[in-house]
A and B are shown apart, each in its own frame.
Chain A
Amino acid sequence: MKPLPFHHALKVKEDVCFGCTRCMMICPTGAIRINRGKAHVNPDRCVDCGNCMEVCPVNAIVIEQDDFQKIYRYKYRVAVVPSVMIGQFKEEITEEQIYSILMELGFTHVYEAEFGSDILHEISGRYTTYADRSPVISTFCPAIVRLIQVRFPSLVQHLNLIKPPLDITAAYAAQQLIENGARAQEIGIFYVTPCAAKIAAIKSPQGESKSGFDGVINMDFLFNLVHKTIVKQKHKENDTIPQQRNLSGEAVVWSLTMGEAPHMPGRSLAVDGIHNVIEFLEKLENEEIHGIDFLELRACDEGCAGGILGSGNRFLTAERLRHRAESMDGISSHVKQEIQAQGEYLRHNLKLERIEARSIVKLDDNFQTAMEKMEQIQDLLKKLPHVDCGTCGSPSCEALAQDIVQGKADLSRCIFYQRRQELLDSRHAKTNLERMIKVWGREKLEGS
């Protein structure tokens, strides 16, 4: 059975995209092609890392989100906010102020997502990991989980099958409400996301049958909403401050680079930036990495502080979080008791199911067919110029060769090959122009 397609949070606005190829050239999984002058994303390949959105010069790539009004479908409206949210604001704006505004905006409860790492520590006595193979790879960053599924299928057994903190927090928040008399259908848990990958992970979770979240709100949207309210109520006293949970300092910086790695048993290291991660995973796959027990791998520079939906500077955000972490004295004994009271339930809801590989690298399921295609690719590569110009609508000569054998393109899309054809027979000029119109649209080819 073919697995269900990945859900994707990233969408291309075709009316805005002008086919500049920047996204296609940066995509770490080669998911983007240009067709009729617009970028098209292959859903099997995309891992929602957000690199394309970051380089787009006209904001043609957007992240879908749930309608904010959706929160009012529920009696209990829980916001699970990543700690980097606080780091978006200037230091003069206190956490109390930010959280009280979230309550005024309509939420009934506010939790910090990274609280989940404190919960895990409290119920296990340490930060547990669970994987078939060493080194264990963190499942904190969903873009990395997907990257491994599609590009490094042999490494899925290294993935840590303990739920990431935000999911543990969601489970805890829901259970807390239920124990206090709420009915499950009355509870709406919303994640405030700093990136596209987390949305995609919530909409089509890997390693669990159903996500603990009922909706997602983009962090930049909420940032603007909170900011507007701050300006409006400049002189007003805060009246609705949610319960303070006093996270540990570790939890506050958990989502930053080196937030997780130092607390894991054995030797560990952290790599951030998806292209750096790919380079590292190649080495791991080649069995060149020895003596390391835990890998913290994050798609964004500076971890979640570099999330695509961040409004602030990633380095300032990270600094504010580190500064804040210094003043935290950990969860209170009261909260510890609450966690322990739920211990049994949480321990049962901590593990992820096996995460399946879904290779995009194979040319065909059948070995003989794959061999034939590979031979064709090797032949095609001899004819291509290896300049990776992208004018054919594929990100590299190699990608074009693959597209050709998969029946998605033909060799005469290559402008070098076209010149050779036209030299032999000038009649090719017209058909080649038509071909390029298919890739780039009439406007670009005819000049406007």
Chain B
Amino acid sequence: MHFEFEIEAGDFSNAGYASSQIKKILKQLNLPNNVVKKAVVALFESEVNVIGHSFGGTVAIDVENDRLHILVSDTGPGIEDVDLAMSEGYSTATKEIQEMGFGAGMGLPNIKKNTDYLDIRSQAGDHTEIEMLIHFNQESAKDRQS
């Protein structure tokens, strides 16, 4: 099952729309609570990233038999140093964005914590593509809990 959401740059008031829609679907599929939570957090952070840092983009979600496959892509401006962006507390958010309560530098680290696989493909001055996987099976869920 494939879902796609357009995300407009700077539209913070709509942050959480895609993650809420997907949450509804995952709850209906009767997936374990912790899987739903991980997906919601990872998606929410992705939405905020696209809204706050990019020129706009899309979030595409595929609900597969045993996992959730999420692909977030934007049209730029790209991440200069992916490793640095991954470190907790590092943020390139402007003062205005931070005043709205976003941009604490926890976005990507939080996504990493809540996914089983994360791949960031980006180049400064170009687009960014973030691919993530969240497994449904209880085993991986248990691993993460402990």
Contact = CB atoms under 8 A, between A and B. Distances in A.
Interface of A: 153-154, 282, 285-288, 359, 361-365, 367-368, 370-371, 374-375, 378
A374 B28 CA distance: 8
B27 A359 contact: yes
Contact of A371 (B1, B37, B40): B1
A246 to B, nearest CB: 45
* Chain B facing A: main interface SS: helix
Contacts of B1: 371, 374-375, 378
26 contacts: A154-B33, A154-B36, A282-B20, A286-B16, A286-B20, A286-B41, A287-B40, A287-B44, A288-B16, A359-B27, A361-B24, A361-B27, A361-B28, A362-B27, A363-B29, A364-B30, A367-B29, A368-B65, A370-B28, A370-B29, A370-B30, A371-B29, A371-B65, A374-B25, A374-B28, A378-B1
Interface in B16-49: 16, 19-20, 23-25, 27-31, 33, 36-37, 40-41, 44
Given A282-B20, A288-B16, A374 B29 contact: yes
A154 B63 CA distance: 20
B122 to A, nearest CB: 26
Nearest to A378: B1
B5 interface: no
A286 B44 contact: yes
A233 to B, nearest CB: 57
* Chain A facing B: main interface SS: helix
Contacts of B36: 154
B30 A359 contact: yes
Nearest to B24: A361
Contacts, number: 55
A244 to B, nearest CB: 48
B136 A153 contact: no
B42 to A, nearest CB: 11
Contacts of A154: 33, 36-37
B38 to A, nearest CB: 10
Contacts of A282: 20
Contacts of A153: 27, 33
Question: How many B residues touch the partner, as a band?
Answer: 20 to 34
Interface string B51-67: 00000000000010100
A237 B49 CA distance: 73
A362 B28 contact: yes
A18 B78 CA distance: 60
B30 A286 contact: no
Nearest to B3: A378
A361 B30 CA distance: 8
A258 to B, nearest CB: 24
Contacts of B136: 367
Closest 9 CB pairs of A and B: A362-B30, A154-B33, A361-B27, A370-B29, A363-B28, A286-B40, A370-B30, A361-B28, A287-B41
Contacts of A363: 28-30
Of B1, B23, B27, B44, which is in contact with the most chain A CB atoms at under 10 Å from its CB?
B27
A92 B37 CA distance: 54
Given A153-B33, A370-B28, 13 more contacts: A153-B27, A286-B16, A286-B20, A286-B41, A288-B16, A359-B27, A359-B30, A361-B24, A362-B27, A362-B30, A367-B30, A367-B136, A371-B1
A56 to B, nearest CB: 29
Contacts of B40: 285-287
Contacts of B37: 154, 285, 287
Nearest to B27: A361
Contacts of B44: 286-288
Contact of B30 (A285, A288, A365, A378): A365
Of A285, A286, A367, A368, which is in contact with the most chain B CB atoms at under 10 Å from its CB?
A286
A275 to B, nearest CB: 16
Contacts of A375: 1
A361 B40 CA distance: 17
A367 B31 contact: yes
A280 to B, nearest CB: 13
A72 B110 CA distance: 63
A129 B33 CA distance: 24
Contacts of B33: 153-154
Contacts of A287: 37, 40-41, 44
A288 B48 CA distance: 12
A356 B21 CA distance: 25
Given A287-B37, A371-B63, A362 B29 contact: yes
A154 B29 CA distance: 14
A288 B44 CA distance: 9
Nearest to A153: B33
Of B23, B29, B65, which is in contact with the most chain A CB atoms at under 10 Å from its CB?
B29
B2 to A, nearest CB: 9
A137 to B, nearest CB: 16
Contacts of B25: 374
Of A154, A362, A370, which is in contact with the most chain B CB atoms at under 10 Å from its CB?
A154
Nearest to B64: A371
Contacts of A368: 65
A282 B41 CA distance: 13
A286 B19 contact: yes
A367 B33 CA distance: 14
A384 to B, nearest CB: 16
Contacts of A365: 30
